[in-house]
Amino acid sequence: MRAIRNWTAGWALLLWAGTLAAGAAPPELIRPPSGGLQPQAAVDATGVLHLLYFAGEPGGGDLFYLRRAPGAGAFSAPVPVNSRPRSAIAIGTIRGGHLAVGQRVHVAWMGVGTEVSQMCYARSESLGQSFEPQRDLIHTAFGLDGGGSLAADGAGQVYVSWHAGQEGEEKRRVWMARSTDEGQTFTAETRANPIETGACGCCGMRAAAGPEGTLDLLYRAATGKVHRDMHLLVSADQGRSFSDLPVHPWELNACPMSSAALTPLPGGQTLLAWETAGQVYWARADQRRGTLSAPVPAPGPERDRKHPAIAINPAGQMLLVWTEGTGWNQGGALAWQLYEADGQPAAAPGRLPQAIPVWSNAAVVARPDGGFAIIY
């Protein structure tokens, strides 16, 4: 199969070029091949851009992986991830695949096509040219609905997490299966949340592993069925124990089907982004001090924002990306905001109307040259 050419939406950049602040470069805009949905992306220590996307029928499709070397103009040919055909799902936007890169490429997703939902996992062969057969990591924590996430630290630790329960949202818990051998074997799942908060049943969550043995799990609670607050679970001992850091309150007697983002930083800090009441926010968490900076809302008056993603480059600049107007069986706009290292906006917000397909979202990475790439 021919390598897939990196498609950049140059005309969309023109919409933003006139509003750029001095010295701020526009992000590279990339669409997955064949109209792929729900992109997930990561850049490894060598500068390789890794990309995961969904293709097929939303109720039962497939995941594909491809990569782009630093300075290359094209991606590799897509590689199938799931070994059981049509076992991935796009409906709801938050149940799709998650990507992590360690010594191998790791993928986790909510599996469909069986009587019970599965927390599926697959890892690549050493060079990422094929994937091993998928596995279900759920042993006892059944009741998966909102999908899960995973993280890898590059030193052999791989963590797959999800929230589940069969006795109502207020009794759902966050679970984690841990590998110390780069995903070859996993422990049985153990509970991660140290306090009873419940978990928003059809909301997604996010995991991230830091460079110093840290692990973060960001999820939405469902305390009393109405307190849909965001919580950050913080571990400094490779997931053996967690402390709970409240992030942002939201009182809502419904499930918003939200997703969230995490980016680990050196020194025990984490960059996080989430949705509250139709607005997206970002903040920094300090694991060592157990503190969280004041939430920063995306600029503008819009209140139909969802699915944030965030990346940071070596200079400390951050790019926050989100969707606008998306919902159940409804696409919408792509939007973004660049921030300087001090947290101040570096340019006017960017926006690309009607860019997000139904059941999709966007991903963002910092390129090796300090620029950013948005995959949508």
In the chain the domains, ranked by start, together with CATH numbers, are 10-375 (2.120.10.10)
Phi-psi region of 212 (alpha: psi -120 to 50; beta: other; left: phi over 0): alpha
Distances, alpha carbon 238 to alpha carbons 120, 156, 241, 316, in Å? 21, 11, 8, 26
pTM for the structure as a whole: 0.93
Spell out where 156-314 has E strands: 158-164, 173-179, 190-191, 206-209, 215-220, 230-235, 243-248, 261-265, 269-276, 279-286, 291-292, 296-297, 305-312
- Specify the pLDDT at position 25: 80
Question: Per-residue confidence of the chain (376 residues) as pLDDT tens digits?
Answer: 333 333 333 333 333 433 344 456 899 999 999 999 999 999 999 999 999 999 999 999 999 999 999 989 899 999 999 999 999 999 999 999 999 999 999 999 999 998 889 999 999 998 778 999 999 999 999 999 999 999 999 999 999 999 999 889 999 999 999 999 999 999 999 999 999 999 999 999 999 999 888 999 999 999 999 999 999 999 999 999 999 999 999 999 999 999 999 999 988 899 999 999 999 999 999 988 889 999 999 998 878 999 999 999 999 999 999 999 999 999 999 999 999 999 999 989 999 999 999 999 999 999 999 999 999 9
- Specify the pLDDT at position 20: 41
- Specify the pLDDT at position 23: 53
- Specify the pLDDT at position 39: 98
Query: What is the residue whose two structure tokens read 């340019």?
Result: 347
Q: Are 248 and 231 in contact (CB under 8 A)?
A: no
Cα 193 from Cα 168, distance rounded (Å): 16
Q: DSSP class of residue 3?
A: P
* Closest alpha carbon to 104 in 216, 175, 179: 179
In degrees to the nearest 10, what's the CA dihedral of 96, 101, 106, 109?
-10
- Specify the pLDDT at position 24: 61
Cα 77 from Cα 64, distance rounded (Å): 10
333: how many CB neighbours lie within 10 A of its CB? 18
Query: What is the residue whose two structure tokens read 């096509």?
Result: 113
